[in-house]
Chain A
């Protein structure tokens, strides 16, 4: 998922995941229903860390449905569509709510030898709601179309289930249109309603244990934009900003039979143009299996 798009924006979280090496079997569908909650009371204005009493604590919440579909044992499709709402504990800025962006991921286990595997993942997203993209930090999204390419390497020790995963991605983001006919970016006036949103990259390292009925993982992620400008002193964030963040967290899943639960916690530990958010996601999983007995 485009974590970078969602830094001062909602940290909508993921369950059955475009960033792991786990696959549904053919004809199996795992549907996750997720609730996400993310807050920050401090943020980096450019690299200056500050609080803003006119915002107090900024909260983003979301619910989403996320089916993971087994096309084959080595090819999965993952879909997600979140409903997001934002609020602040102080000040007069109007919270936003609405259906955000529909994402689709194609995940292919392209190479497997012993416990080592290589996965190619392609994802895209399309805005589904007519939300306001430039009312940051209250906007629920950026109205970008996105396309992400990701290469994921995984090693799992067959006997113990211990694994290590690493991946890197490049994310393209489309230009967007805003309600205004001019805006300032990079100290320059653009007399047009079209805004260039910078492309992104990410990298991550995950270490954990994957067993038949449960999974536990510690991770660190780095997301940033490849270009973009910086929030000026005392100014508002804007879609052109180069948002960067380093996140650490834990993830766990228990799914003894068809029904399961998962949870993720994450903490932004360092950033630029981004909120220092603490987030958690909890989910209910249900596995449908149409495999003939």
Chain B
């Protein structure tokens, strides 16, 4: 049984080995000498930067929870109209490329705050609202509120009720969310660079400086290993803390209450406040897309649909604007890349998740392996891919689908995160019953598992697609002419001279926001038809 179930995980493991492990190892052997290791480890700035990465990530985790918990509580405990839509909108920040969010913050904030620790941590919190919301709210939904009443009846005080009833049930989800937010903030690059300012360096931003500005590739690769070690240590610590909570109560009936009276008002305030925070930088982006220099103009939008609009600008230099053709091309490329990445990641994640679920507690290592793509530096991975797939039949650097392949690797952890908990709740009794009725294993998998998992599969595919739409690091390394993804195009336009070019960048950013919101709404509608989970013993 064990060997058979491991077999389903093999494609995903091979995929990770080829497109994640191999490039890093190749880069390591090609560029790193023993002296690089001692040089980097003995340099004082290495540890100063590592320390800054660590504490800013912890501070960002706290800020994220402060921003996201009120909404998470309300959504997790209450049923109300438009719940799915609120959840989709609140999540959008996570899927936008950091260049876009940073541009939105800069458009929104007064100049004085453009470069500050506060702006940087606020942007980190903004990004990660979705993580807290999506990891913790489902746990809250299924928490049996009757347990609290029971504890009270038995004489427990508020504090005692919290520490011995509520917290143990929530601990796994909280630690899991904190861990993911921590990883994202620790490896943050564009936000640190743009909003944190040049005096603040994380390991990831120092890797880029070493690799590109200084040309110290050996040092850059060693730093990315330091990063893996630090993150792995912190995450393993977190897992150790959460371990005994693995016996968290089995899910029970959904116990959402309708919001009424004071609660409804409180809820409305929370929703309005959170969505205002989420929307503000995005609205600032949209406003910027309607301005060329200081004047209001639709020129940016016109250039998206009509090449002539740009050409007609009197004698302005041809480079004043990128042609509509190139802009629409990047839209198509992004869409195509996202769809392919989602399909590949879904197939791989399904096999991997199946094995993780089958192996139960023995599958923890596999679960951990599926998270590895999150902690590998995108700069290092991108360079590794350029070095590894460089000749003969495997010179894939110029192909459009290579970016999708890399996105399938980057999106895999999220897809696995979505599938595993849902799969765990598919009652074994259903499969047993089907087996008794004569269904083959293949039939059981298709007719029971896949069918029950469909909403989760849709959700996983949507998330991978959204991640692919927003991914910048690897895409900027591998993107090709006529096949540049939206984030890459936006970053390039923002770096150029000319007001119209900048406006076009904001137009594309606005389009990207709309695309991401649509993908998320699709995910919500995929899940909505099935939003009344049942006690699995009755399913």
The reply to whether chain A is a binding partner of chain B is no
List B residues at the A interface (Cβ < 8 Å).
none
Q: Identify the A interface with B (CB < 8 A).
A: none
